[in-house]
Amino acid sequence: MPAPAATPAPGPDTGRTVLDSGDIARALSRISHEILERNKGADDLVLLGIPSRGVPLAERIAERIAAVEGRAVPSGSLDVTMYRDDLRLKPARTLLPTQIPDGGIDDKVVVLVDDVLFSGRTIRAALDALNDVGRPRAVQLAVLVDRGHRELPIRADFVGKNLPTSLVQRVRVHLNDVDDEDAVIIEGAGA
Amino acid sequence: MKKHLLSAADLTREDAELVLATADEMRSLADRPIKKLPALRGRTVVNLFFEDSTRTRISFEAAAKRLSADVINFSAKGSSLSKGESLKDTALTLEAMGCDAVVCRHGASGAPHRLANSGWVRASVVNAGDGTHEHPTQALLDAFTMWRHLGPRNGGTLDGLRIAIVGDVLHSRVARSNALLLHTLGAEVTLIAPPTLLPVGIHSWPVETSYDLDAVLPKADAVMMLRVQRERMNGGFFPTAREYSRRYGLDGRRMATLQDHTIVMHPGPMVRGMEITADVADSARSVIVEQVTNGVAVRMAVLYLLLGGSEPAVGTTDGADA
């Protein structure tokens, strides 16, 4: 099942920090430029973060793109809870906000933004959720960390850092907006 | 294990706030091109209605369908119930066909409780109004409507808001469920009715009572008018409809004494000219139509939280370990 990579683990903080706030800032800047390069500008771009930590990441990328291009890029959020394939395996989960920017996603290039790419199941759910919102011209995926172990044929277009991990490890992403610090931490065996 | 929603008293403050927050997300669905979510795909919801209902049954049906559940509508008229079948045999039939939730409206207080705790069905039971007892999803949609209108100017909660519930409290399941739920959510409820239409034991409810509508209205943040339930009355509860209307009806003159932000609510069906005049019901303060819209969102939230996961996130416990 998709590990809730961004959920804080219980117990003492024994993790190893692999990205600090400077690293995260540089990775997001590079991703922003790559998105612009790939799409030859910011025309028709819509950034959708997957809650909870994909949303502030999408906002930061939108800010950087706006700084380069000199105009705002719409950024929103897309909750995938109802579309998860493990919905029935756990108690009913709290829904998180879905905020589709004005103008919708029809014929736009949607860039999904998430913190950690792991099994790929969250992204599959996001693709289903997008299907009910509209029909984008293209969908791309940007993640801060790709930790491998895919269970579905899904890959990211823009990656902040490839992080080889073992399945027993946990990857935690902390962001200022949610956790009062910017850091990516690996916990567990061999960390 | 939590499984049923039988009474507003089953809900803790956390439960109720979870329902409201979930309903808020469900409500945004109305603005999307495809008004459907896959959360209850393959689940069956039975609407078991022994009493007439327009709003509630359609609302539950729309809610279940928007969550992709299969819906079976069952009403007493035109079923074997009119041939004398008992609640038990009806329940066993539903169980044999397989269903995941039973939404039950019944004229007898306690019927949904019986259904939930008898062992006849394994499904989750949602009380959609039982006799003069409770109507918890109506209370949730009323609280949701208040929360959307009054919450933003009150720190996002209902804490300390003054809610006036006016009319036939004696026969009203809506009043009881609202009194319990609004108390849980921190609001201060005042029930206003003639002495004959307040139930025995009202002093044990977490509410204030008053016989004087004009004294309460200027302080209220929300005013909820109740229908006089003639069909449940077999005695003289007030001299004439006209006198009731003059003392306990909401008309334009009384509406003028309300605070600027105060909203006017009615659970429906309303009798224009009796408990509420047409100019009030159609005024800008009236949120009566919005209550219906919110009803679908709230019932989606309840069905999702009861059926969406491996176990319910809100509601009362199963009969076995209660």
Q: Could you report the per-residue pLDDT of B109-164, keeping only the tens digit for each?
A: 999 999 999 989 999 999 999 999 999 999 999 999 999 999 999 999 999 999 99
> What value does the mean pLDDT take over residues A107-135?
96
- Higher-confidence residue of A4 and B223: namely B223
User: What is the per-residue pLDDT for B232?
Assistant: 82
Q: Within a 13 Å sphere around the CA of B34, how many CA atoms are in the beta-carbon half?
A: 13
User: What is the per-residue pLDDT for A9?
Assistant: 46
Pairwise CB contact (< 8 Å): A128 & B38: yes
User: What is the per-residue pLDDT for B285?
Assistant: 96
Lowest-pLDDT choice from A131-140, B19-28, B100-109, B234-243 = B234-243
ipTM above 0.95, yes or no: no
User: What is the per-residue pLDDT for B318?
Assistant: 53
Lowest-pLDDT choice from B23-32, B103-112, B172-181, B252-261 = B23-32
Please identify which residue in the block is written with the tokens 């739920």: B181
Lowest-pLDDT choice from A11-20, A23-32, B174-183 = A11-20
Average pLDDT, chain A: 91
pLDDT in tens, B223-282: 999 999 988 887 789 999 999 999 999 999 999 999 999 999 999 899 999 999 999 999
**B100, B106 contact by CB (below 8 A):** no
In angstroms, the CA B120 to CA B104 distance is 14
What domains are there in chain B, each with its CATH number?
2-134+292-317 (3.40.50.1370), 136-291 (3.40.50.1370)
Average pLDDT, chain B: 92
CATH 1.20.1740.10 fits A18-166, yes or no: no
- Higher-confidence residue of B290 and A2: namely B290
Q: Is A102 within 8 Å of chain B by CB? A: no
> What value does the mean pLDDT take over residues A143-156?
96
- B319 pLDDT tier (thresholds 50, 70, 90): very low
- For chain A, the structural domain boundaries read 18-166
- Which amino acid is residue A44, in one-letter code? D
User: What is the per-residue pLDDT for B315?
Assistant: 72
In angstroms, the CA B147 to CA B149 distance is 6
Asked if residue B322 has pLDDT above 50, the reply is: no
Q: Is A1 within 8 Å of chain B by CB? A: no
Pairwise CB contact (< 8 Å): A82 & B32: no
Choosing from B3, B4, B105, B106, which is the catalytic residue?
B105
Using H for helix, E for strand and C for coil, what is the string for chain B? Answer: CEEEECCHHHCCHHHHHHHHHHHHHHHHHHHCCCCCCCCCCCCEEEEEECCCCCHHHHHHHHHHHHCCCEEEEEECCCCHHHHCCCHHHHHHHHHHHCCCEEEEEECCCCHHHHHHHCCCCCCEEEEEEECCCECHHHHHHHHHHHHHHHHHHHCCCCCCCEEEEECCCCCCHHHHHHHHHHHHCCCEEEEECCHHHCCCCHHHCCCEEECCHHHHHHHCCEEEECCCCHHHCCCCCCCCHHHHHHHHCECHHHHCCCCCCCEEECCCCCCECCCECHHHHCCCCECHHHHHHHHHHHHHHHHHHHHCCCCCCCCEECCCCC
pLDDT in tens, A37-48: 999 999 999 999
Please identify which residue in the block is written with the tokens 């393959």: B42
User: What is the per-residue pLDDT for B130?
Assistant: 95
Asked if residue B320 has pLDDT above 90, the reply is: no
User: What is the per-residue pLDDT for A190?
Assistant: 66
Q: How far is A104 from chain B (nearest CA, A)?
A: 10
Asked if residue B321 has pLDDT above 50, the reply is: no
Please list every residue in chain B whose beta carbon sits closer than 8 Å to the beta carbon of residue A128: 38
Please list every residue in chain B whose beta carbon sits closer than 8 Å to the beta carbon of residue A95: 21-22, 25-26, 304
**A122, A90 contact by CB (below 8 A):** no
How many CB pairs (< 8 A) connect A and B? 55
User: What is the per-residue pLDDT for B310?
Assistant: 81
Q: Is A40 within 8 Å of chain B by CB? A: no
Asked if residue B80 has pLDDT above 80, the reply is: no
Report the share of chain A in percent with pLDDT over 90.
84
User: What is the per-residue pLDDT for A86?
Assistant: 92
Closest partner CB to B310 (pick from A79, A90, A98): A90
Asked if residue B83 has pLDDT above 80, the reply is: no
- Helix (DSSP H) and strand (DSSP E) numbers for chain A: 4, 8
In angstroms, the CA B159 to CA B157 distance is 5
Closest CA to B102 of B123, B85, B88: B123
Lowest-pLDDT choice from A56-70, A86-100, B162-176 = A86-100
> What value does the mean pLDDT take over residues A82-92?
90
Residue in chain A closest to B67 (alpha carbons) equals: A82
Sheet holding A183-187: strands in order across? Answer: A16-19, A183-187, A170-174
Residues in CB range of A101: below 8 A, 6 or more apart: A46, A74, A75, A76
Q: Is A41 within 8 Å of chain B by CB? A: no
- B316 pLDDT tier (thresholds 50, 70, 90): low
Structure-token pair, residue A44: 């028709």
Pairwise CB contact (< 8 Å): B28 & A87: no
